[in-house]
Structure 1
């Protein structure tokens, strides 16, 4: 499989996950007597959804418009690595913190597996096979962390407005701000460590083995 076919395949899986979850969110909202707009608001509250959507766009744009400014930007190894770390933290956080919280069935199980396992793992494979290694700066993960930090600010402001938080570990109503921020700092540290691992791997792949 060449790189373009691999990118297309991973993009299709990512789009399948986000679109399936959108349909399920709309169905759930309407089943509970709420509007489609309420379903979209709930859907867009999750880091999982937003990051999978980011992955889908970042993979698709270079395929559709490779010579556009956005297409070239998404093809940069640093940007591709930032997206990869972000989607990997989705899978890791779900596996460690959330998979025991509920037991999805049917299509919701399929959406969960796609969003939390299939797309993160495929993005990692894509990063390894299709993203050229480069000597990224060790401080690069600090810039990549702007994405989860922006989400945290968004989730807290959204939660304050709606009195509903998407994840139990940032539920200010139940935990208070000190514990919420402590939990967030722990996840941020994991993000930075994971990003540093990708930087180290990328740099090591450029270094010839000394015999």
Structure 2
């Protein structure tokens, strides 16, 4: 059992790491909002179209989720939402989501997008720096021993809802956030297959995280 001094140091380390990573994530998502809305204005689409498209990207939504999950509990630790955001299952789900942000980009989008200038800087934050930083936070500070295999069923709700909304929005407004979701070019069979592959990838990553947690629990029991 950790001593009170060790526990307080651990709590301080958790707070500092969460504050720094959360703050960096907020900077990244705000800069991306500025870039996306400005580009929409330059393209003649207007601010509001840019704003709605900004919230259509899984990368943006997931990084926003990271920012909220890391900073809200520091601001209102007594609130029920903080209990939800700091629950090991919630934090592990977010780890799975942000891992998929990085993996999906480098596997599917790296060769079809060439960001420059400020967008390049923000791109590295959203797709590389923040995913790595959050996974390190999960590895160092999140209790994992009580994770259950069935948690995956709940974690799948977010990506399923995202895909459903992205496809419905594309059908209504002929705009898709990612090339692998472009029904007008690929057709529904290929897009649905792409979506299934992404969901399976997320499931594999998530089961891996749960497996790490369960192995950690087994190791702790064996060494008590």
Aligned length: 211
State the shift of 1:208 in Å.
2.5
2:164 to 148, 153, 156: 153
Alignment of 1:51-90 (within 5 A): 51-90=62-101
Structure-1 residue corresponding to 2:176 = 165
Alignment of 1:1-211 (within 5 A): 2-208=13-219
Segments of 5+ residues of structure 1 without an aligned counterpart are none
State the shift of 1:5 in Å.
0.2
- Does the CA contact (< 8 Å) of 2:33 and 2:54 recur in 1? yes
- Does the CA contact (< 8 Å) of 1:77 and 1:134 recur in 2? no
Q: For the aligned residues, what is the CA RMSD?
A: 1.3
Flag the structure with larger Rg.
Answer: 2
Which piece of structure 1 moves more, 35-44 or 69-78? 35-44
State the shift of 1:14 in Å.
1.1
Segments of 5+ residues of structure 2 without an aligned counterpart are 1-11
- Does the CA contact (< 8 Å) of 1:142 and 1:192 recur in 2? no
State the shift of 1:136 in Å.
1.3
Q: 1:31-76: per-residue Cα shift (whole Å, max 9, x none)?
A: 1122110110121111111111111111111111111010111010
State the shift of 1:16 in Å.
1.3
- TM-score (normalised: structure 2): 0.91
Partners of 2:95 and 2:187 lie apart in 1 by: 31
Q: 1:12-44: per-residue Cα shift (whole Å, max 9, x none)?
A: 121111111000011111111221101101211
- Does the CA contact (< 8 Å) of 1:86 and 1:191 recur in 2? yes
Partners of 2:122 and 2:80 lie apart in 1 by: 32
- TM-score (normalised: structure 1): 0.96
Q: 1:68-125: per-residue Cα shift (whole Å, max 9, x none)?
A: 0101110100001111101110010001110111211110001111111111111100
Partners of 1:117 and 1:197 lie apart in 2 by: 20
Partners of 1:133 and 1:54 lie apart in 2 by: 20
State the shift of 1:137 in Å.
1.2
Structure-1 residue corresponding to 2:8 = none
